Structure 1
Amino acid sequence: MTDFLRKIHLVKDISIQLPVSKIDFIQKFRSHVDESDLSFVPFEVFQSSKNEYKGNISNNYFELKKRRKLFDTNYSFAKVTAHFSEDSNRLNIEAEINGFRKRMLLFAGPMVLFYSIFIITSLFLTSNNSASFFVLPFLLFHMSIMLGIPYFIIRRSVKRMIYDLERDFHYWVTKN
């Protein structure tokens, strides 16, 4: 399934090189990212923090995602998991940005089932009726909107996370 998600650009791999040591990066990460296990928090938008991200870091691995804010229209679905290593005073980060959550199947699965049932019934039960010429195009149009809008929002979230991550990491490293 991950290969399919990569093809439709809901999962991306990036590589970032930073001119910093591993120890300094871990220290800067901890100062700019709130410690969290990234589980679901019901009223996260009402928590205040000066940090833009929440996540956790270990010796060679980190996870992070953007903190949700009240009235924020930049939907932040993307989650970053990365491995990093130091090579001659240069930090190499290999990250995977994943915008798709398994809980989204609870939304997409019944919706695809719903639309497939209605399309099949409109094809077979009303095949001699002229109403099927109006129902089928409307159903296809409605399906493309209901499945297309979340897809493009998640895809934009992944692209935005790539941009923000590269920008913020370089800012953390160059800022004194």
Structure 2
Amino acid sequence: MTTTQWITDIALLLVVFRQLRESRLDLKSFLLPLGIVSFVVHQYLNSVPTGGNDLVLVGLLIAVGAALGIAGGIYTRVRAVGEHVLIKAGVVSAVLWVLGMGSRMTFQLWSEHGGADDIARFSVAHSITSDQAWVAAFVLMALTEVVTRLGTIYLRSRMVQAPAQPVRVPAPVS
């Protein structure tokens, strides 16, 4: 792995630790993880192969990313204090984040340090046509995890901010 890959992978892992202490939900809460994952997408996603079962692999890992992201967003505490929304990632949210982001880094390390032959055999047996399919699948999984987690947190923040509207019962007409 290159130095840039190490830095971006570690930065993605550490983003959630910033949220282990309660802080205000603001634009920076969204821009930091989106910026890091956008850099990763720009650097490593050249194409999405469509041959063989490449799209199945990509779809499966996107689904895993969505599940991790939604669950991570659900297990992030979101509460309103005055006019501000505060968020705090719980232990489950942090574990899910590290699982998702760490799996990409672990796969990359494994593929470079002894796992390449196993990955090649698996790919041939399951009609995955190139290593770019694996790259696309893991990068899109990370992107999906970030977007769905942030989307879930955003939706939850809107629900805690919405003031309860009093129910108006029409007066009887006499």
TM over 0.5: no
Task: Give the structure with the higher percent helix.
Answer: 2
Choose 1 or 2 for highest CA Rg.
Answer: 1
Which structure has the higher relative contact order (CA within 8 Å, separation 6+)?
2
